[in-house]
Structure formats: structure tokens, C-alpha cells
Amino acid sequence: MMFHVPLVLWIVSLTYTVLAQRVCPRPPEIPLATFDNNKEEYHLGEEITYFCNPGYVPQTGSRRYICPLTGKWPIVTLRCIPRKCPYPGPLKNGNILGEDFSYQSVVSFSCELGHILHGTNTSQCLADGQWSRQLPECHPVICPLPPISEFGALSYRRFKPGNISVFQDVIKFECLLPLALIGNEIARCLATGNWSEIPECRKVKCSYPAEIQNGFINFALRRTYQYKEKVSYGCNPTYVMDGPAESTCEKTGNWSIKPTCRAPCKIPVKRATVVYNQQRVKVQDQLQGGIQHAEVIWFFCKNKDQHCSYTVPAQCIDGNLTAPACFKERGWIASMIKTDVADMTPCEN
């Protein structure tokens, strides 16, 4: 028994000596990371912790490792990747150029047509996951007041409240009568900060208006007329006016469209019963003077197969009226012995 005790003590002492002499070497280095307790040797059971470099965050693997009995560090599985910054936009009326929002990446800013960048034109993703500079703003281009005299003949009207006009705003110009506005009455604020073409005011005169056939000008003085002045027309008796009754002196120095006096129509038959103004009348008794332009009369025609009557319209067009081909005018003798087509039974639809 006394022999075994020293042997056990010797074995324990030897084991302790071997373990005491075994250490772990310097831990392996991994990309984009460092570890604490930076030493050349580590005792069994001693712990180290890896930290990702500023601007980087762990993606996979463990950060903590313990020096094992083997004296060999386990395989380090930690992987560090760049930290992401949030999307820097949106940028109203502008664009953000760049698709990578990770650490150290740079994005640039630009504005759409008609807008000016206020602020920085670039920003970089920092180690803390924030952008280096604030998002800029795109302000619309401002156009100054149009270059017109405050007391001149040309004036303008804004469509939006306020005194500032920005890109794409429009204004409408007007001239004091009798001056005429020559050019576009609408101007737009351009991306350059200038207005589109500014019109001008000119004196315009029209010569005495021309007469119209079968008509007259009402109370027109024989003189020249200024822009926007008007004259009115009338037609001779039995003639009908077709078109506007007034004509206006235009900015071109010409008159606007004049009316036309349309002629009445004589009925092209001597004896017939027709429908006029929704009444049955006899041409020989009530329509000897004819009808006016655009008026319509209805002639009676005979359906020989069904022995019935139907009506066909005929319209007066500037002195021209033609009876329908189906209408047959009866002579005086025939009207005495034959039934009038207008008195026959109406055909069914």
C-alpha cells in the first residue's frame, strides 16, 4: 500500500507538469477583425473575444474562443462584413446615384430639369451606419418678373397665388385695347430661369368691311376700324342669314368670317298637297311664294303594290329645291277624276 501512494503522487505531479507547460499560441487573425488580450501565449482555459473593425459587423460564426487542453485554438468561424447605411432618399424632384449603401460607399445627388441642388452633392456611409451629410433638397428654378413696364400697355395675370414664379408656372398676357397682342398670350417659366417668348402690343387697323351678296351692313361708317371693333350684317327680305351676324376686326388686320345670305326656294310643282310646318297645305294656295333656306316640305308618294301613301322630305338649300323622284304631279283633269295621293291610306311602317 505504501508503494502505490508515491506512484500515484508521481503520476499526478507529472500530469500537472505537462499541462502546466502546454499553452495556446497567438490566435489566428481573420480579415476585418481584431481580438482582445493581444499576447503571444495563452494558458489553458483562457478566453479571447474577437471584435469586427469599425464599420464592420459580424455576419456568421462565434466571437468567443477558449484555449483547449490540446493547446490548439479551434477553427475561427467569425466573418465580418461592411455595415449598411439606410437608403438615403427619397430625393423629391431629384435622383440618387449609387446602389451600394455599405460602409465607405459614396452616393451622389442630382436634380431633375428645372430644379437646383441646395446642399451637398455627395455623401459617404460612415462606420456608425449613418451618412456623412444630410440629404440635400431640389428647389425649383425661380423666374424673375417678366421684363415689362409697370404702366405699359402689356400686362399679365398669374394663375397661382403669391409673387414668386417657379419652373413650369405660366402667366397670361393681355394688351390694353385697342392694341392687339402679337405672339403667344401664354408664357412659361423655363428651366433656364427665363420666360418663354414675351409677346408685344401693336396697333391694328382693318379697312372698311366688304359688302355681302343679298345683304347689307348695319349702320357702318366708311372708315378704318381698330382691333376688336365689330360690324353687324343683315339680309334682304326673304333671304336667310347663314353664319355669325357680326364680324370682328382681328389682329391680322382682316375681318373675321362674314355671314352669307341664302336664297329662298320656289316649289318645283304647280299643284300638290304637301306637309309644311307639320300641316297639310296645298302648294297652289299657300306656297306660291316658296319657302326659305333650310326649311323642309314633305311630298306624298304612292306605293303601287300596297296602294297606300308615304311622305318623302325635300329641303331648300340656298335657292335649290328638288321634288323627290317618287312624286308624280297630277294635271288639272286628273285631279278632278282621280283620288289625290295625299288622301290615300298611309302605308304602315
**Which residues is 291 bridged to in the sheet?**
265
pLDDT band at 333 (very low <50, low <70, confident <90, very high): low
DSSP structure class, residue 332: H
For residue range 251-271, what is the model confidence (pLDDT) as tens digits?
999 999 999 999 999 999 988
Written as nine digits, the cell of 329 is 304631279
User: Average pLDDT for residues 195-203, to the nearest whole number?
Assistant: 92
Q: CB-side exposure of 337: number of CA atoms within 13 Å?
A: 3
pLDDT band at 47 (very low <50, low <70, confident <90, very high): very high
DSSP string, 195-260: BS---EEEE-EEPPPPP-TTEEEES--SS-EETT-EEEEEE-TT-EEES-SEEEB-TTSSB-PPPE
The three-state secondary structure class of 8 is helix
pLDDT band at 152 (very low <50, low <70, confident <90, very high): confident
- Of 59, 48, 5, 57, the C-alpha closest to 25 is 48
With a cut of 70, say whether residue 57 has pLDDT above it. yes
Per-residue pLDDT at 336: 63
The pTM assigned to this predicted structure is 0.60
User: Average pLDDT for residues 23-39, to the nearest whole number?
Assistant: 92
User: Average pLDDT for residues 224-239, to the nearest whole number?
Assistant: 95
Phi, psi of 227 (to 5 degrees): -50, 135
- Of 231, 240, 276, the C-alpha closest to 260 is 240
CB 281 within 8 A of CB 274: yes
Written as nine digits, the cell of 113 is 430639369
Q: Which amino acid is at 173?
A: F
Residues 6+ apart with CB under 8 A from 124: 104, 105, 106, 131, 132, 133
DSSP structure class, residue 112: -
Domains of the chain (ranges; CATH) run: 24-82 (2.10.70.10), 94-140 (2.10.70.10), 142-203 (2.10.70.10), 205-262 (2.10.70.10), 273-343 (2.10.70.10)
The cell 452616393 sits on which residue? Answer: 107
Please list, residue by residue across 177-187, b when 16 or more beta carbons sit within 10 angstroms of its beta carbon and e when fewer do. Answer: eebbbeeeeeb
With a cut of 90, say whether residue 339 has pLDDT above it. no
CB 119 within 8 A of CB 136: yes
For residue range 89-110, what is the model confidence (pLDDT) as tens digits?
999 999 999 999 999 999 999 9
Choose between 298 and 151: higher pLDDT.
298
